[in-house]
Structures are given as structure tokens and as C-alpha cells.
């Protein structure tokens, strides 16, 4: 117990240094959290992008001077085209909260299968009560498969909807607002993370009453699905011809670009983080080392006064453990108070994150602590005594 | 006989290879209880090395060391620690104090290792400080004190467990004449009260103040 007491006293004695060390470590952990969120965010976007319909899909970003209907009609007239996917966007109010509304036509529903936590996708023609409209909703809306509720348009029109499926968390679904040209393409353009209600256009008598959500541009993207037996040269030729309606890009190249850009972004951020972390670690290590060296002289004095040499080792281990526990507790507090952005992580990545944090803290303290301990254990006492003969 | 050394040798490894040098080459020495002994010798003669062995800080390479008639040459480090703590007090040239702690905390350290109940620690430490006339310094940081004051704190610490042997290594080496005289005065008084005192020195006046002088030369007692 005296060992523990002395360890606490040693930490208290150099409290300023120790506070600096702990703060530095916590700051780098907050940075680590940011990187972690950034990386897992991008990784989930990459995952969502990989769910997009790719095989023989071409995205046409329609110019403003064509209406979507005109462009769709022209493109559909091409023999190589199997169908044209369209998405109407709008707003629904549910419990007085506005929620994105995405209305998919049959072509989209047939080619696109988002991940669900429960229920069925709209392509399974789920049967519901006569008056209700089958919908798939995002998880965060708190609805369950089978629930039937009322939702309304901004103009007050009420709809009865029945939930047939619930999207997986984090929410990701096809929501084509803005441009899909390769330079601007990001998962955010084509994948939305917001709350959503998805329905089929065939379940609605009139889609013209739906308007894009406030602040969202009208969808300008058509998803053109090519016939499986069309030959590549012909497809290239007709794709060229559509350039007058809008920018055309194969889905595969959009995705490839996106994944490449995301990976280099993650690489860059990680590199920056590693540089910062090594700087922080170097400064932590050097002040911890100085402290340990000063403790060595202290232990020699203690030895003189009747401490066993190996008690010094025990004190040093305790000091290391106490600092690890303090730092880790502060991290848990920081996490609980939202500083570590854990709210953006799934439970599993939050646990992984804490695991990494514990590893980082332990390695940082142990890196010097253990080296110092090994020296202390192997110490030739007469050498330490000789040093004590010199003035401090 | 309080202390008895027979044929004590000490070999140090020098450098990285297996080169060795024998610093003590067979020391035979007896010291009675209540003696005040000076150990003289040129620099590097092995005075401190001998003091470290006398003080159970280091072990001899060979030979026999008896304390109160008990052979402690091969005693466990745990028991040697207890002997250092309870029976031996060290006074070093550069004080070996914890500079950034206050005087009272410094004097209490041996009590901490002796597992003295916390309730008694301060009182016992203050008593020794009073005995040395420095109780007014109790709350002062050691780094703020003069050399003479520091050495008196060191002596208070050496005595706090009511030790019966004081081992001093050049205790006046870092002090001016006036303070050196003061410290020697304190040693004399302690000796009169029955404390055995062994002082390593190369200063004539320190040796002259002791009743017995031992000289080490060429690894032996001359
Ligand atoms: N731990 C050690 N390792 C190697 N050599 C040592 C060690 N301690 C002392 N020595 C050597 O032993 C000799 C005697 O040292 P010391 O006892 O300190 O002499 P002094 O009589 O000046 O106190 C010196 O040459 C010193 O260099
Ligand atoms: Mg010496």
C-alpha cells in the first residue's frame, strides 16, 4: 500500500508535467476520433455505393433546357435501352417533422436493392390494406414493419402508409439531387444519409403534387438501364448521342472514381494524423523519460533510506498504471460528453475505437516505462550510488 | 564488537568487456560501539566503496562482514534494507535530499519505509528537527536552503529512526569552513550520546576531530 501511496505522490509531485502529458494524449485521441469518424463515414459510403445498380447502368445528368420527361422519352426510344429509372423527390410530414420523400419508378425498384434491417423491398409487391401505400422507411424514423401511419404533404394532403421494410443504419439510399458528372461525383450526390420515406410511383395517382424537399435541387439524374444483349459498340454510340440531353457517365466509372478519390482522401488524412500523433508521442515520451530519470535518482535516495530496490520497480509500475487509468478514464468521460464524436459511430466501431485508444495509451506509457523498468531491474546499484555522489 | 570485516574484497567490472579492477584487496577492520572513526585516503582509493559495503548498500565480492556478531555477508536484500532503514543513517557530500520536497517530508521518508503509523510520522520528524535546531525550517523547500542547513536536514533524516550508526561520505565536502565546523560539532555531540560515527574524508581537520583514523591505500588499510 505504501508503494501505491508513493506512486501517487510522485505523480502529484510532478503534476504539471503529468497534466501536460495527459492533455496531449487526450488531444491526440480527439484527433484520432475525428479521423475514425471520417474514415468509417467514407467506408460506409463506399459500401453504399457498391450497392448501386452497376451492370449496364448509365447515369444521364439532364441539362436544364430539357425536361426530364422529354429526355426520358427520347432515351427510352433507343432499342438498346431496357428501361429508364426516375426518382421524384418531395417532402412528407410525419409527427410534424419534415422527412425526405423519394418516389422510385419501377425501373429503379427492379434494379436497386438497398440493405434492409427488416421487411421487404418494394419489388416484392407487398400487399397492404386497400387505402394504404406501401413504403420503405429509414431506421431512424422509429417505425417497424407492419406499422400503418398517416403522413402529409406540405399542402396538407394526408396519406395512409404501411411500412413494408426498414432500411439499415446508417441510412443510405439512392437520392439523385444535383450533378453526377465524374468531377463532382461523390457518394453524397447520389446517396443520401437523411431520414427518408421511399414509395413506388405506381402507387400514386399523380406525382405532380410532390415537390423537392426545401433547399434540395430538383433531381436531374436519369438512370438508364441497358439491355443485357446490347453490344458494347452500339451502347457507346447511343451514349454519345445522348450527350445532347445531358452528361452521360457509366455507373461503373462513377463508382471507380469515387472509391479512388475516397481512398486517397483517407490516405492523406491518415498520413496527417500519423505525423501529428508521432509529434505528440515524441513530446509525451520525452517528458515522461525526463520524469523517469529524475525518479531514478529519487529511488537511489530511497534505497539509501531503507527501500528495497525492487520496490522502486513496483512504484514505477504503479505510477504507469495510475497514469494509464487516469488517462483512460478521462477518455471515457470525453466520450460520454460527446467530445470523441462517438455518436457518429455504430456501437461496434465505438468499441473498436475505445480498444484502439486503450492500446495507444498503454503503448505510449509502456514504451518508456518498460524501458526504464528494465534499466531499473538490471541496474548495478553501485553505479546508481556513484551518481548520487555527484550534485544534482 | 559492533562491526567486523575480514578480508573484504570488491571487484568492479570496467568497460564493456570482461575487464575488472579490484578496488578493495582484503580489508580487515573492527569498529566498537560508540567509536568515531575517520576513513582517509587519496581520491579513488576506495573509501566510498568501503562505506557502501559498511552501509549494506553494496555487497563485497568476497570476505566476511559481521554486524553485532551476525554474519550479514549473504543476507537477503530485504533484510539488508531493514538494517539500512532501522540501524544506519547516511550523510552524503551532496546531501542526497529530495530537493523539491520540504524539510519535514524529507526527514519523514525513513519513517515511511519503517511503516511507522502515519499519525506519528510528523511528530517524530519534528522532534529530530528540534534536536538539530532547525524545526523552524520544517515547511521550507529543500532547494531554498543553504548547504549547512541541508546537511543538518540530512543528519535529522539519518537519525529519525533512532539509528545507532552514522555513515558519512565527505559530509563537509560541499560546505564552507564555518558550516563544516558546525557539522563536525553535531557529530561530536551525537557521538557523546553513544552514536557510532564513521566519516570518510580527505580533510585533515575532519580526521583530527575523530578519535581514530584509518587510512586506505592500495586497496588495504595502511
Ligand atoms: N560502480 C563502479 N563501477 C566501476 N568502477 C567503480 C564503481 N564505483 C567506483 N569505481 C571505481 O573504484 C575506485 C574507487 O572509487 P571510490 O570508492 O568512489 O573512491 P574514493 O576513495 O574517492 O571514494 C575508483 O577508481 C572508481 O572509479
Ligand atoms: Mg568517494
CB under 8 Å to A260, separation ≥6 — which residues?
A: none
Give A119's DSSP letter. E
Q: How confident is the model at residue B145 (pLDDT cuts 50, 70, 90)?
A: very high
Ranges A16-25, A103-112, A312-321, B157-166, most confident? B157-166
Residue B116 placed within a domain: yes
Q: What would the pLDDT profile of B18-49 be if each residue is shown by its tens digit?
A: 778 899 999 999 999 999 999 999 999 999 99
Residue of B52, B86, B113 with shortest CB distance to A385: B52
Rounded CA-CA distance A60/A242 in Å is 8
Q: How confident is the model at residue B147 (pLDDT cuts 50, 70, 90)?
A: very high
Contact check, Cβ <8 Å, B110/A306 = yes
CB atoms within 10 A of CB A115: 13
Q: Is the Cβ–Cβ distance between A151 and A93 less than 8 Å?
A: yes
Rounded to the nearest integer, the mean pLDDT of chain A is: 83
Domain count of chain B?
A: 1
Question: Which has the closest alpha carbon to A29: A241, A230, A284?
Answer: A284
Tell me, yes or no, whether A24 and A98 share the same domain.
no
Res A158 pLDDT > 60: yes
| Ligand 1 geometric centre to CA of B216 (Å) | 13
Q: Choose the final residue of a domain: A179, A207, A229.
A: A229
B66 touches chain A (CB under 8 A): no
Contact check, Cβ <8 Å, A382/B52 = yes
Residue A241 placed within a domain: no
Lowest pLDDT segment from A161-175, B32-46, B168-182, B208-222: A161-175
Q: What would the pLDDT profile of B48-107 be if each residue is shown by its tens digit?
A: 999 999 999 999 999 999 999 999 999 999 999 999 999 999 999 999 999 989 999 999
Residue length, chain B? 222
CB under 8 Å to A24, separation ≥6 — which residues?
A: A280, A283, A284
Give Cα separations from A11 to A324, B39, B105 (angstroms): 12, 40, 16
**Residues B115-142, mean pLDDT to the nearest whole number:** 95
- Å between A3 CA and nearest CA of chain B: 10
| Residue found under cell 530511497 | A302
Burial of A66 (0-12, 13-18, 19+ CB in 10 A): middle
Tell me, yes or no, whether A97 and A223 share the same domain.
yes
B82 touches chain A (CB under 8 A): yes
Rounded CA-CA distance A328/A336 in Å is 12
Predicted local confidence at residue A274, as pLDDT: 86
Tell me, yes or no, whether A6 and A67 share the same domain.
no
Tell me, yes or no, whether A61 and A42 share the same domain.
no
The DSSP annotation for A166-194 comes to EEPSSP-EE---S---TTT--HHHHEE-S
Residue range of the domain that includes B138: 34-59+81-221
Tell me, yes or no, whether A23 and A151 share the same domain.
no
Q: Is the Cβ–Cβ distance between B108 and B160 less than 8 Å?
A: yes
Please report which ligand is nearest the Cα atom of B94. Answer: 2
Domain count of chain A?
A: 2
Residue with CA nearest ligand 1 atom 13: B44
Q: What would the pLDDT profile of A17-73 be if each residue is shown by its tens digit?
A: 889 888 888 888 888 888 878 887 777 777 777 777 667 888 888 888 888 888 889
Grouping H, G, I as helix, E, B as strand and the rest as coil, residue A199 is strand
Residue B28 placed within a domain: no
B149 touches chain A (CB under 8 A): no
Predicted local confidence at residue B210, as pLDDT: 94
Tell me, yes or no, whether A62 and A23 share the same domain.
no
Res B2 pLDDT > 80: yes
Residues of B within 8 A of A302 (CB-CB) are 109, 113
Residue B3 placed within a domain: no
Backbone angles phi, psi at B161, to 5 degrees: -90, 20
Residue B70 placed within a domain: no
Predicted local confidence at residue A230, as pLDDT: 80
Tell me, yes or no, whether A94 and A148 share the same domain.
yes
Q: Which residue of A has its CA nearest to B89?
A: A305
Predicted local confidence at residue A210, as pLDDT: 72
**How much of chain B, in percent, has pLDDT values that exceed 70?**
99
Tell me, yes or no, whether A168 and A77 share the same domain.
yes
Question: Which has the closest alpha carbon to B37: B220, B199, B183, B205?
Answer: B199
Give B17's DSSP letter. S
Rounded CA-CA distance B185/B151 in Å is 13
Residues with CB under 6 A from ligand 1: A 380, 382-383, 386; B 12, 14, 23, 41, 43-49
CB atoms within 10 A of CB A92: 23
Task: Mark residue B106 as left, alpha or beta (left: phi above 0; alpha: psi -120 to 50; beta: remaining).
Answer: alpha
The DSSP annotation for A135-158 comes to EEE-GGG---TT-EEEEE-TTS-E
For residue A199, cis peptide bond before it (omega within 30 degrees of 0): no
Tell me, yes or no, whether A17 and A119 share the same domain.
no
Backbone angles phi, psi at A213, to 5 degrees: -60, 150
Using DSSP bridges, classify how beta strands B3-13 and B88-92 pair: parallel, antiparallel or unpaired.
unpaired
Please report which ligand is nearest the Cα atom of B25. Answer: 1
Question: Which has the closest alpha carbon to B140: B96, B105, B93, B91?
Answer: B105
Residue B14 placed within a domain: no
Residue range of the domain that includes A331: 2-46+260-391
For A1-39, the three-class secondary structure string (H helix, E strand, C coil) is: CHHHHHHHHHHHHCHHHHHHHHHHHHHHHHHHHHHHHHH
Give A392's DSSP letter. -
Question: Between A247 and A216, whose confidence is greater?
Answer: A247
Lowest pLDDT segment from A126-140, A338-352, B66-80: A338-352
Mutation for B interface: A8, A9, A304, most B CBs within 10 A: A304
Tell me, yes or no, whether A80 and A197 share the same domain.
yes
**How much of chain A, in percent, has pLDDT values that exceed 70?**
92
Predicted local confidence at residue B3, as pLDDT: 95
Contact check, Cβ <8 Å, A305/B113 = yes
Tell me, yes or no, whether A339 and A387 share the same domain.
yes
For B88-152, the three-class secondary structure string (H helix, E strand, C coil) is: EEEEECCCCCCCCCEHHHHHHHHHHHCCCCHHHHHHHHHHHHHHCCCHHHCCCEHHHCCHHHHHH
Q: How confident is the model at residue A187 (pLDDT cuts 50, 70, 90)?
A: low
Predicted local confidence at residue A180, as pLDDT: 53
CATH of the domain at B209: 3.40.50.300
Tell me, yes or no, whether A66 and A204 share the same domain.
yes
Residues of A within 8 A of B101 (CB-CB) are 13
Amino acid at each position: 500500500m505504501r508503494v501505491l501511496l508513493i506512486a501517487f505522490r510522485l505523480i502529484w509531485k510532478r503534476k504539471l508535467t503529468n497534466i501536460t502529458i495527459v492533455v496531449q494524449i487526450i488531444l491526440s485521441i480527439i484527433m484520432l476520433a475525428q479521423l475514425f469518424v471520417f474514415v468509417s463515414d467514407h467506408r460506409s459510403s463506399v459500401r453504399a455505393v457498391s450497392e448501386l445498380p452497376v451492370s449496364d447502368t448509365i447515369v444521364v445528368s439532364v441539362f436544364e433546357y430539357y425536361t426530364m420527361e422529354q429526355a426520358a422519352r427520347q432515351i427510352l426510344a433507343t432499342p438498346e435501352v431496357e428501361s429508364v429509372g426516375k426518382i421524384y423527390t418531395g417532402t412528407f410530414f410525419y409527427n410534424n417533422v419534415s422527412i425526405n420523400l423519394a418516389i422510385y419508378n419501377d425501373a429503379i425498384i427492379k434494379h436497386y436493392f438497398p440493405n434492409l434491417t427488416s421487411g421487404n423491398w418494394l419489388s416484392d409487391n407487398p400487399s397492404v390494406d386497400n387505402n394504404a401505400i406501401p413504403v420503405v422507411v429509414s431506421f431512424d424514423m422509429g417505425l417497424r414493419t407492419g406499422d400503418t401511419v398517416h403522413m402529409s404533404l406540405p399542402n396538407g394532403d394526408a396519406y395512409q402508409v404501411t411500412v413494408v421494410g426498414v432500411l439499415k443504419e446508417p441510412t443510405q439510399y439512392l437520392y439523385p439531387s444535383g450533378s453526377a458528372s465524374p468531377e463532382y461525383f461523390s457518394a453524397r450526390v447520389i446517396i443520401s444519409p437523411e431520414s427518408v420515406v421511399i414509395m413506388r410511383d405506381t402507387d400514386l395517382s399523380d406525382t405532380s403534387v410532390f415537390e423537392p424537399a426545401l433547399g434540395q435541387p430538383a433531381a436531374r439524374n436519369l438512370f438508364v438501364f441497358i439491355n443485357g444483349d446490347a453490344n458494347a459498340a452500339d451502347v457507346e454510340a447511343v451514349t454519345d448521342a445522348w450527350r445532347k440531353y445531358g452528361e452521360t457517365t457509366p455507373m461503373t466509372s462513377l463508382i471507380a472514381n469515387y472509391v479512388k478519390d475516397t481512398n486517397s482522401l483517407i490516405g492523406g488524412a491518415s498520413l496527417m494524423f500519423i505525423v501529428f500523433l508521432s509529434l505528440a508521442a515524441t513530446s509525451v515520451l520525452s517528458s515522461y523519460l525526463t520524469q523517469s530519470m529524475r525518479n531514478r535518482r529519487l529511488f537511489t535516495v530511497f534505497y539509501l533510506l531503507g527501500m528495497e530496490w525492487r520496490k522502486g520497480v513496483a512504484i514505477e509500475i504503479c505510477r504507469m498504471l495510475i497514469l494509464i487509468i487516469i488517462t483512460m478514464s478521462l477518455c471515457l468521460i470525453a466520450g460520454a460528453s460527446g467530445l470523441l464524436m462517438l455518436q457518429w459511430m455504430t456501437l461496434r466501431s465505438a468499441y473498436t475505437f475505445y480498444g484502439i485508444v486503450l492500446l495507444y495509451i498503454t503503448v505510449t506509457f509502456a514504451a518508456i516505462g518498460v524501458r526504464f523498468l528494465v534499466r531499473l531491474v538490471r541496474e548495478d546499484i553501485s553505479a546508481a550510488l556513484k551518481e548520487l555522489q555527484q550534485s544534482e | 564488537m559492533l562491526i567486523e570485516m575480514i578480508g573484504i574484497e570488491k571487484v568492479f567490472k570496467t568497460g564493456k568487456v570482461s575487464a575488472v579492477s579490484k578496488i578493495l584487496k582484503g580489508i580487515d577492520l573492527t569498529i566498537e560501539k560508540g567509536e568515531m572513526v575517520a576513513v582517509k585516503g587519496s581520491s579513488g582509493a576506495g573509501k566510498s566503496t568501503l562505506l557502501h559495503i559498511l552501509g549494506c548498500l553494496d555487497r563485497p565480492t568476497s570476505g566476511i562482514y559481521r554486524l553485532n556478531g551476525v554474519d550479514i555477508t549473504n543476507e537477503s536484500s530485504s533484510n539488508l534494507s531493514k538494517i539500512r532503514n532501522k540501524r544506519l543513517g547516511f550523510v552524503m557530500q551532496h546531501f542526497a535530499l529530495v530537493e523539491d520536497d520540504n524539510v519535514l517530508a524529507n526527514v519523514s521518508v525513513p519513517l515511511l519505509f519503517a511503516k511507522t503509523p502515519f499519525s506519528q510520522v510528523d511528530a517524530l520528524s519534528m522532534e529530530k528537527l528540534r534536536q538539530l535546531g532547525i524545526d523552524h525550517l520544517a515547511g521550507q523547500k529543500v532547494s531554498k536552503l543553504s548547504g549547512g542547513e541541508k546537511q543538518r536536514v540530512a543528519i535529522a533524516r539519518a537519525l529519525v529512526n533512532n539509528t545507532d550508526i552514522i555513515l558519512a561520505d565527505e559530509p563537509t565536502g560541499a560546505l564552507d569552513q564555518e558550516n563544516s565546523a558546525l557539522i563536525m560539532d553535531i557529530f561530536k555531540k551525537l557521538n557523546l550520546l553513544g552514536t557510532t560515527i564513521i566519516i570518510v574524508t580527505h580533510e585533515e581537520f575532519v580526521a583530527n576531530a575523530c578519535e581514530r583514523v584509518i587510512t586506505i591505500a592500495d586497496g588495504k588499510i595502511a
